[in-house]
Every structure is written in C-alpha cells, then in structure tokens.
A and B are shown apart, each in its own frame.
Chain A
Amino acid sequence: MISSQLPALQIIVPLLAAPFCVIIRNSRATWLISVLASWVTFGISILLYLDVQTLGVISYEMGNWAPPWGIEYRIDSINVFVLLIVSSIGALVSLYAYPSISVEVDENKHYLFWTSYLLCLTGLLGVTITGDAFNIFVFLEISSLSTYVLIALGKNRHALYAAFRYLILGTIGATFIVIGIGLLYLLTGTLNLYDLSMRLGDMSLTQPQLAALAFLTVGISLKLALFPLHLWLPNAYAFAPSVATCFLAATATKVAIYLLLRFAYDVFGQSQIFSELPLGEVLLILSIAAMFIASTVAIYQQDIKRMFAYSSVAQIGYITLGASFASHTALTSSIVHLFNHAITKGAIFLLLGLVALRIGQPTLKKMSGLGKSMPWTSAGLVICGLSLIGVPGTAGFISKWYLILAVLERGWWWLAFMILASSLLAVIYVWRVVETMYVSDSDSRGDSHMASTTSPTSMTLVAWLFVTSCIFFGFHTSFSVEGASAAAKVLLEYTK
C-alpha cells in the first residue's frame, strides 16, 4: 500500500517537516526533526532506486489525475540516481551540522536554518522527481528562495550581499526558465515532459521552439553556474555557513545539470533542433573556458572557500563538457562526474567546516601549520585534493578517465590534452593549500586559539565517511559507473 505512494512521500516528508520546525523553534528539537526527516527521505529514495532497478520507469499520478492533464512524477534511471545523490548528502550533512551551526549561526535563528534546509531539500528533490514542466519551476523557486535564506544566515555581513546578488541572478534565471516553459506550452498545449517530447518530435522546427530552447538553456545555465554565468557562486559559497556550503555545493548545481540533461536530451531530444543549432559546440567552448579560466582564478584566491568555489565552476565545466556531445561514454562520464564531484566537494567543504570551527573563516594565511594542529583534517583535505585533480585511486580519476575515453572516441586528441592541462591547474591550487598546511612555518599566533577545542565526533565521522568514499568510489565503480551508464543509455534512447 504505502510502497505505491513513495514518489509523493519523497517530497512530502521534508515539506511537512519544515513547518514543524517553525512551530517548535527549540534549537535541538528542530535539528532532530530535520535529521529524522532527511533520513526518512534518504530511505525512500533507496527504495525508489531498488524499484526502478526492477520496474524500469515509475509513473506516479499526483492526486489520481491521469497524465498529461494531471501532474505526473516520472522516475527513471537518471533522476533516481540524482535523487539518491541529493537525499544521501542531505541526510549526512544534517547529521554533521549541529555543532557547526551552533557556532556559526545565532541560537535564535537555528529553527529558521533548519526550515530553510528542509525546504531546500524539498525543492531540489521536487525538481528532480517531477515530470511536469511548470512543477519544475515551482520546486526550483522553493529551493532557490530557501537557498538565499541559507546563504544570508552566514555571520559575515558579506553573506547578505552575496545572497542578494544570487537572488537577482537566480530570479532572472528562473524567469527565463518560465518563459521557455510558457513558449513550449503555447506550442504544444501540454506541460507534461514526456508528452512534450513526443509532440515536439512530431513538429516541424519553428522559431518559437528555438526561442524556448534558448530561454531554457540560458536560465538553467545560470542555475548550474556554467561559465560565464557563474558570478553569483563564489561569494555565495564563501560566505554561507559551512553546513549550507557543503549542502549547496554538493547538490544544488548538480540538480541544475540534471535539468539541462533532461531538457536537452529528453524534451528536445526528438526535435530536429540540434542539427539546426550548434548548442553542443557552444557548451563545449564554454566548458573549456570554465576549466581553464575558473581554475586559474582559483589559484589566486586567499579565501579557501572561495578557492574551492571557483574550483567548482571548473569542475562543472568537466560535467558540461561530457554533456556536450551525445555519445554513451561522454554522457556516462558527465553523470559519473556529477556523482564524484558531489562527494569530493562535499568532503572538502565538510572538512573546511571542521577547520572553520577552530580558526574561523579559513584563509590561506590562517591555515598555515594546520598539518600539525589538525593532522587528520589536513590529511583528508589532501586526499580530496587528489580526487579533485583526478589522481588514480580516487573517485575523480574515474570520471576523468571516462571523459578522456569519450573524447578519444571522437579522435579529438587536442581536447584530451586540454583536459590533462587543466588538471595541472588543479594541481597548482591544491598544492597551494597543501603547502600552507604542511610546509610553511606555523606562526604561534595561529596556535593560540587552535588548541582550545577538539573536533566534535559526529562532524569528524561524517566528514571522514565522505573522504573514504572518495577513495572507495575510485576502486569500486560498480554503483557509480553502472548507475551513470544506465542513465546515459536511457537519455540516448530518448533522442532516438
């Protein structure tokens, strides 16, 4: 009985838990509610994943209204994979969060943090699970509005300005998406994604189709921080509370990338639009620009969170690079990197959260000598850094390996060379962190307020779970690569 309602419960559990947080207000109780809700959500997405393995596609009719009139939740191998990433990270980060939030957010605002956190989780899962175009916009705005609040809760006053700038750019992006969806609705008379792709396939190519694709692509690219639309991201990540940064870096942009894949391959897959438009080429050029320019900018950052935020923009470049050409290996590499980058960046920001507990906002200057005072955390950062570069034995290697395979399938040697060259830029900024932690002299000023505390056990455990999974998924690729490969296969079937 209840198993048939799982797709609805996936959204409803965190959505209903959020107002409870507002009512209860007690800091520890709201945390417990959030942990409970996000773990139940995680459990539901595991069950959904298992269901999809046996059933293939799950279609859920919201309120028993048959699609395409009613809202349909449609779960296939792609979005169940993304659901699993988002809900697992949501669950683990909530477990990690309590000590970090106690320090970084005022006590009387804790319940607001958890309300926004749960709403953000709801929105991200909703965007992923739904099969209705307008529903996507609504959930996107739920997640975006709560993200602005999460960022603005940072103690530094620049968090406010970062949140405001993200609000302006995010709203422009979301409005572009609505315009695109509106044009599609005017053309086809349907909002159901599956129905849309069928009808667009039967239609001859018209100007409004091109306009709709253009609006959707630009809108989604703003959300996923595709270079040069990434300007909101570095400050938002740098000044948000550590927990919010971990959660957003690991999930928010990934969901936007899923949306891009969904619209490009599924909804527009059967229309002739791609033979008419050089969308793949545009994506390719912007991805390469992101890989090089964002990595170069990352090298010059003093603030560590900003550095890794720019590195996120560069890594998103690798993901969109894989998405830019429609071959099975390329899409697999793109989706695997979506997963691997989520755990790697998640791990880095979780470790930086531990660092922030001791020294405040982590900057290069303050982190000197960290190798002595926090040996384990520093070692973790080194491992994650290696995964970011793509050293064999780490998760990052697997995705770059598939990306290079995909590029070589096309015979594009120059591109394989560029991928390796841009990885060298990652070596430089990771080395800058490693150098300050281990090589440079630790000045006594830093040590005085460092030795005062030890890291809370819950935070350390979760952070290390992420770090070990960076290595684990570098060796055991059965889950990540097979999941991604199944998803890529489904995406390519849509385009046929």
Chain B
Amino acid sequence: MDFLDNINYWIAMFQIVMGLFIVIASENLIKTLVGLGIFQSAVYIIYISPAKIFGGTAPILSENYVIYANPLPHVLILTAIVVGVATTALGLALVVRIYEAFGTLEEDKIQEIDLEDSRND
C-alpha cells in the first residue's frame, strides 16, 4: 500500500527522468521541447500533491470547516505554468526561425552547417 500512497510522487519522478531523457536523447528540436514540457509538468505534480487534502476545502474562516487545503502551492504552480507556457511559446518561435534559417530541425544537421560556416570564416 505504501507504493500506492505515494503514487503521485512515483509518477512525478518517472516524468522528470523521462522528460530529461527526451531532452538529452532526441535530435529533433520539437521533440526536445516536448521533453522539456514533460519535465516541467512533473514539477507541478510535486508541488500540488502535498497541498491536496482529501475532504479539505478552501481556507475559509468559518466554524463549519475544519480541514482545509493549503492554497499557496496552487498559486505558485499557476505562476509556474504561465512561465512554462511562455518558455514553450518562445522555444517554438525560435524553432520556426531556425527552420527558416537552416531548412532543418535535426540537431546534427544544424551542427554540420555550424561547422561549415565556421570553416568559411
């Protein structure tokens, strides 16, 4: 049961490792960004999981409610999600420009062009 109790964290950890692996292993720039997105969303789970309390409500000052969930991590993660969206958008914009400039999205080909250009200098 211990495993199932902490299932969120196992998933988050799996996601972190998977995301980083995709970032490192994939040659395609779009896939790299996908990996980055997976990696970032793992952090959201790490933050949100401990803040969720079963049967808890929003923190309202009232005698009817005793158990409440901490809203701060949720707010923080809202900010982090916005940052994540901005990063992905900027990354994709750069990918578009890179495709226009190099005609490819494969990292090894871009590096080949890099080398050729530096030889021509």
Contacts and interface: CB of A to CB of B under 8 A. Distances in A.
A183 to B, nearest CB: 8
B69 interface: no
B39 to A, nearest CB: 6
Interface residues of B, number: 33
Nearest to A135: B79
A141 B94 contact: no
A280 interface: no
A361 B117 CA distance: 13
B74 to A, nearest CB: 13
Chain B contact surface mostly: helix
Contact of A175 (B39, B86, B110): B39
A178 B80 CA distance: 9
A164 to B, nearest CB: 5
B46 A138 contact: no
B24 to A, nearest CB: 10
Given A160-B94, A161-B114, A168-B36, A182 B87 contact: no
A465 interface: no
Contacts of B73: 182, 185
Interface string B33-75: 1001001100100110010000000000000000000001100
Interface stretch (A6-14, A16-24, A144-152, A342-350): A144-152
Contact of B29 (A137, A141, A164, A175): A164
Contact of A168 (B23, B50, B83): B23
A145 B114 contact: no
A158 interface: yes
Which of B50, B72, B86, B121: most chain A CB closer than 10 A? B121
Contacts of A178: 43, 80
Contacts of A137: 80, 83
Given A134-B76, A138-B79, A178-B80, A171 B98 contact: no
A172 B94 contact: no
Contacts of B91: 164, 167-168
A186 interface: yes
A149 B97 CA distance: 12
A179 interface: yes
B25 interface: no
B102 interface: yes
Nearest to A174: B83
Contact of B121 (A134, A163, A168, A303): A303
B47 A182 contact: yes
Interface string A286-330: 000000000000000011000000000000000000000000000
A216 to B, nearest CB: 14
A171 B87 CA distance: 8
Nearest to A158: B114
Given A167-B87, A182-B73, A365-B121, 9 more contacts: A138-B83, A148-B90, A160-B97, A164-B94, A168-B91, A175-B39, A191-B72, A302-B118, A363-B121
Closest 10 CB pairs of A and B: A157-B101, A141-B83, A164-B94, A160-B98, A160-B97, A182-B47, A171-B87, A167-B91, A134-B76, A178-B43
